[in-house]
Structure 1
Amino acid sequence: MMNKKMDLPRWWYPGLWLGLLATLAVPAASAATQEIRALFTPDSANPHRNEFVNKTPSSGYCEFYPDICRNSNTFSIRLMTRLNSSKPMQANSGPRNSAMFKVPGDWRSLTVTNKETGDDQRVEVRIAGVGSNYVLSDTAANLTGAPNAQQGHDRLWKGGGWLYATPPCQSTGVGFYGSNTYAFFWKTPNATPCVKVSNFLIPGMTYGYLDFAYELRTPNPLGMGAGIYTGNLTYRLGPGGDFDFGDVMIPNDPVLNLDFVLDVQHTLKVDIPPGGERIQLVPAGGWQSWLQAGRRPVRLFRDQTFNISASSRFKMQLECEISAFPYDCLLDDRVSKKSVELRVSVSLPNGLTDMAGQPVKQLRLRPGPTNAQYFKPGFYVDRAPGILHFEVPQQQMEFMLRPGVASTYRGSVTVIWDSEV
């Protein structure tokens, strides 16, 4: 937070860019652990884009085909989880004794918590794709009697080679094969199993790794406080688990832990134009009517502009050098010891509203924490102009201005913009 000193008013405002580092515990040897990291920072070039950006490096499928994943807002991870056949895969067997892939393709929710504030937010994730590279115990041609590898892989499975996914899985149009290997990746629209049934006996088979793609639904970061939010989602791998590959293919890691880290970095910054730290209150049209004709002004006022950048909720309040109930802040004449009321209000630019979503136009500010006014952004506001309105109201004019009596009223006000709400 930063303080800026001035005579009338004094200002204090925070400019906050918060980013902390998360520390992961060392995973147990019997589980695979993967961090999923996303970041929000306000973007002045795209102020209406209030979304997290996935910062987890892609590996596996999306690493090699970034355009396909980018177009579907999908991200992939390669786990070195290996699956080995526990018994031969018989021809024309049922789903559980064939090559089966059942993944958590429906949305699941978890709670992420701000470690500093305790604020809880909900994140949703689903597994959007799955892939690997199968390795046969013999060549596809030898297992099927086909004249070459391509025909061997196509004959080995009902419906052809693994370029073609079985419903409800969907093909990505990408597949690679060797004499006894086939690399594939399928989209998984839901949690219904996808099954490839063998036409021939397969004595042994291995999946050399496990690729999975995921989609995220994250909260609106403008409604979150700054800081690091962490949470965990655990999946079971193996027969009957969240990732179920049937009864033939058994993973060497029975557990997959996904550690989520959401980093929210907000901006709250206020800039006062040069000379704006000293406020002179004057009548509309100046002092000539009072000095020459003795006509009291209706009021004394000054509008002071400021530029604000805000991507998070914040509050505003006043601190007065001099105050007295029922007034807000006071200005006083050091000679006569008289005091007059000073009213302060604020107008905020488009994109910043009160907590009910209403525009902020000349909203009264009052001193003390209990009188704080709260505001929220509808989108990232970047150096947009706001106005502080200072006024000595009409009912103070007769008391303040008397013919032939000179006086000078002074006072100091602290206007506070605070991101800690």
Structure 2
Amino acid sequence: MPSEWRNVTVTNEQGDSAQLDVRISGIGGRADHGGDVQVITGGGGYNELWNTGRWHNAPTPCIPTGGLNGTSYYVVWFWLVPENAGACATQAQFDLPELHFRYLSFGYELRPPNPLSTPAGIYRGSQTYTIGPGLDFDFGDRVLPVGNTVTLNFVLDVDHILKVEVPPGGNRVQLEPQGGWQGWLQNGRKPTRLFRDQTVNLWASSQFKMTLECGAPMGNTCSVRNAAGHQVPLDVAVTLPPGLSDAGGRLVNRLPLRLDGSGTELFQPSRYIDRKPSTLHFEVQADSVAQMLEQPGSTYNGDVTVVWDSAI
């Protein structure tokens, strides 16, 4: 039996390809010998026709499953086949007037492609085995098949998820100094920066990128402005949960999001991310805060859109 691993290329309609491995891991069926073994052997049953116990125990290197059924005319069996087993052979102790396999069955083992690195789609591929003396399935030089090939057709459906869950109220982000505004209101201590960390929950099973869109762009980032039109930059960064890395394989910690998308073109999972917390960091730097404090009584607003995009 072809118990060694063989590579099968599977391809989807978009032309993406992946590789799975397959091997034959079991063999069985019904063998008919066409005569009464009790007459041939003097009354020992079907197993007597072969080296003692070979159908029940399986010839090495095959492994028995513990089951055997049949009569003095036929036997139904199934053996397990280890990797790279080669031949599993048992020798008849008498000449047989006839031997044929009424039917055959086999088991196979698969090593599918890693779905985390496989684009979504329906993948198809096939593996063909030959049957006959000296071929993939070889049942002896005098056992000839009705058909000399068997083809396994594989269909793999890869369906990815990319989902972001923003908690209630999480779309309204209020920037504050460290410890709140009490230091400014009670002691006149000027804040050095304004920030807010917003947690969102993330599901991801494949690659994605992140982009930034702004209501009022300023340079390569967003901004907030007051009613008088005074505008300061608003920095946005992201921290992703363990199991996600950037294109260089690094963990993602406070990675800046920019309008041109640089640095966030590719994030890839090493495992399935199932509702893990991710953090968006919003911050106005110290020099900009100093400018804002020169506009007393002002309220600064801005719109920021963060996009998680599975189209790489």
Q: Is residue 296 from structure 1 mapped to residue 193 from structure 2 by the alignment?
A: no
Asked whether 1:172 is paired with 2:95, we answer no
Specify whether residues 193 and 332 from structure 1 end up closer, same or farther in structure 2 by C-alpha distance, changes over 3 A only: same
2:3 equivalent among 102, 105, 110: 105
CA RMSD of aligned residues (A): 2.2
Percent identity (aligned): 46
Residue 280 of structure 1 aligns with which residue?
Answer: 174
Query: Among 323, 338, 353, which residue is 2:217 paired with?
Result: 323
Distance 1:287-1:173 versus aligned 2 partners, 3 A rule? closer
Offset of residue 367 of structure 1: 1.6
Q: Call closer, same or farther: CA 1:267–1:420 in 2, change over 3 Å.
A: same
Aligned to 2:131: 237
After TM superposition, the score normalised by the length of structure 1 is 0.68
The one-letter amino acid paired with 2:105 is D
Quote the Cα distance in structure 2 between the aligned partners of 1:285 and 1:172.
69
Match of 1:115 among 13, 16, 19: 13
Residue aligned with 1:286, SS: coil
| One of 285, 288, 307 as aligned partner of 2:201 | 307
Contact preservation (8 Å) 2:46, 2:71 = no
Cα distance, 1:283 vs structure 2: 1.8
The answer as to whether partners of 2:28 and 2:79 remain within 8 angstroms in 1 is: yes
| 1:146 counterpart = 2:42 | yes
Pairing of 1:47-62 with structure 2 (within 5 A): none
Q: Is the 8 A contact 1:290 1:296 kept in 2?
A: yes
2:233 alignment partner in structure 1: 341
For the 8 Å contact 1:365–1:373, the answer to whether it is kept is no
Cα offsets for 1:17-76 (capped at 9, x unmatched): xxxxxxxxxxxxxxxxxxxxxxxxxxxxxxxxxxxxxxxxxxxxxxxxxxxxxxxxxxxx
Could you list the per-position Cα deviations for residues 192-228 of structure 1 after superposition, in whole angstroms to 9, with x for gaps in the alignment?
Answer: 1222222222122221111111111123222222332
Q: Which residue of 1 aligns with 2:305?
A: 414
Say yes or no: does 1:263 pair with 2:154. no
The correspondence for 1:401, drawn from 290, 293, 299, is 293
Superposed displacement of residue 290, structure 1: 4.2
Distance in 1, matches of 2:278 and 2:264, equals 18
Corresponding residue of 1:382:
274
Q: CA separation in 2, counterparts of 1:228 and 1:344?
A: 37
* Alpha carbons of structure 1 residues 293 and 197: separation in structure 2 relative to 1, 3 Å: closer
Q: Say if 2:29 and 2:78, in contact at 8 Å, map to a contact too.
A: yes
Segments of 4+ in structure 1 off by > 6 A?
none
8 Å CA contact retained: 2:177, 2:195 = yes
Amino acid at match of 1:105: S
> Runs of 5+ in structure 1 lacking a partner?
1-102
**Higher RCO (CA 8 Å, separation ≥ 6 residues):** 1
Residue 157 of structure 1 pairs with residue 50 of structure 2 = yes
Residue deviations 1:69-127 (CA, integer Å, cap 9, x gap): xxxxxxxxxxxxxxxxxxxxxxxxxxxxxxxxxx10111111122333x3222211111
Structure 1 residue 291 displacement after superposition: 5.0
Amino acid at match of 1:254: N
Gaps of 5+ in 2: none
